[in-house]
Amino acid sequence: MARKRSPRPTEAELAILAVLWDKGPSTVRQVHAVLGKVRRTGYTTTLKLLQIMAEKGLVVRDERARAHVYEAREEAEKTQRQLAADLVDRAFGGSLVAMLTQALNARKVSREELAEFRRVLDRFEKGG
C-alpha cells in the first residue's frame, strides 16, 4: 500500500513552517511575532492559517494549555525533499538534470556553493 504524501504547503504556509522549524513548537502569538518582522499580516490571519494547516496535517496542535502550541508535523528536510520531487515532476518533466541546470543558471553561484555541490555529488556517487 502506497504511503499518503503530505499536502503541498502554500507560500504562506511555508513561511509559518519555516518559523516552526527554526523556533520549534510555538504559540500563534510567537509565530505571528516572527512573521511580523518580514511581512504584514494580522494575528487572526496567522491563527486561521495555523488552523487550516492543522486540518491539512501540516502541523500538530497541542491543546493542553490555554494558548495552543503548534509544531511542524514533518522535518524541514522531508518537506523540502517532497517539494523538490514535485517540482522536478511538474515543471521539468521528471528531469533532475533540467531542474539543476535551470537552478544553476537562475543566479550567480559562488565558488563555495560549487565546491559544496561537488562534495554532494561525490557522496551520492559513492552511495551515501
- Domains along the sequence of the chain with CATH: 11-72 (1.10.10.10), 76-125 (no CATH)
Is residue 108 within 8 A of residue 114, CB to CB? The reply is no
Question: 113 Cβ partners below 8 Å, 6+ apart?
Answer: none
Using a 10 angstrom Cβ sphere, with 0-12 exposed, 13-18 middle and 19 or more buried, the burial of residue 82 is: middle
What pLDDT sits at residue 88? Answer: 96
27, β-bridge pairs? 69
Per-residue pLDDT of the chain (128 residues; tens, 9 = 90+): 445 667 889 999 999 999 999 999 999 999 999 999 988 889 999 999 999 999 999 999 999 988 899 999 999 999 999 999 999 999 999 999 999 999 999 999 999 999 999 999 999 999 86
Specify the pTM: 0.83
pLDDT, one tens digit per residue, over 19-54 is 999 999 999 999 999 999 988 889 999 999 999 999
Question: 38 Cβ partners below 8 Å, 6+ apart?
Answer: 15
Is residue 51 within 8 A of residue 14, CB to CB? The reply is no
Q: How many whole angstroms separate alpha carbon 116 and alpha carbon 77? A: 17
